[in-house]
Homo-oligomer: A and B are copies of this chain.
Amino acid sequence: MLSKNQIKIITSLSQKKYRKQHQLFIAEGKKVIEELLPNFDLEWLFCVGDLNFKNVDKNKVYQVTDTEIKKISVLTTATNCLAVFRIPEERENKELKGLIVALDDIRDPGNLGTIIRLCDWFGIETLLCSEETVDVYNPKVVQATMGSISRVNVVYGNIVEILKTTSLPVFGTFMDGENIYKKELPKEGIIVMGNEANGISVEIEKIAKNKISIPRFGKLQATESLNVATATAIILSEFRRN
């Protein structure tokens, strides 16, 4: 049974300002929820039927009907469970080391979610996001990460300042960059990925001294660009394959 107040709070969580106000976010589907349970504090868990979640405080579980879950789901096709988790305090910004990805204003939630999943796969522990990058607790981002959100430290901040002061080499993808297949790539560094429409901003272009590019093999008229998430996949694969 869902209370009116719960419905009001949950539906408000599609918007960043209410997520910030309540310090809550939602996740849907058993697989995603199970991956988040060990790493985030559960507030409420709504289930249609007994779904056999392990290690969950029963006082936080609410049985609901199909009709009720549809009311609070943000998915086109609601699944049979929805969880509300507490947004954790930002982890301290530890010293930057190893391989790091920085996002310069990624706007599409699906792209951010896919990039977080890629970071998890390729063992990237820290993902730096510019303040204009879509919020990691946006429900569409959470769903697209498929649970990887619990294993990648996503830090928002002024990435221009961070890149200016780091001692790590900074890499950016540009049309006229060096062929990534031929360049020797280090084990440590910060890889900047640019905005979907405008690429890397002028300010960051000045800092990203290591300009790389993914060669195109198609016909002359072929597509001018790759989707930012697929470009990230190719670049991370190249850095890690050595």
Question: Can you name the residue of chain B whose Cβ is closest to the Cβ of A117?
Answer: B223
Whether A56 sits at the interface, judged by CB under 8 Å, is: no
From the candidates B151, B181, B238, B240, name the one contacting A217 in the complex (CB within 8 A).
B240
Contacts A117-B227, A230-B232 known; 10 new A-B pairs at CB < 8 A? A120-B218, A120-B223, A121-B217, A122-B218, A148-B222, A151-B221, A151-B223, A229-B229, A230-B233, A233-B233
Cβ < 8 Å to B, chain A residues 113-161? 114, 117-118, 120-123, 146-148, 151
Whether A175 sits at the interface, judged by CB under 8 Å, is: no
Chain A contact-residue range equals 35 or more
Copies of this chain: 2
Q: Is the CB of A123 within 8 A of B230?
A: no
Interface centre among A147, A227, A229, A238 (most CB of B within 10 A): A227
Q: Is the CB of A219 within 8 A of B181?
A: no
Q: Is the CB of B123 within 8 A of A218?
A: yes
Q: Smallest CB–CB gap between A165 and chain B, Å? A: 27
Q: In the complex the two chains form, what is the Cα distance from A229 to B114 in whole Å? A: 10
Whether A234 sits at the interface, judged by CB under 8 Å, is: yes
Q: Is the CB of B123 within 8 A of A226?
A: no
Interface membership of chain A positions 205-242, coded 1 if the CB is closer than 8 angstroms to chain B and 0 otherwise: 00000000011111101110111011111100110110
Q: Is the CB of B222 within 8 A of A123?
A: yes
Q: Smallest CB–CB gap between A101 and chain B, Å? A: 13
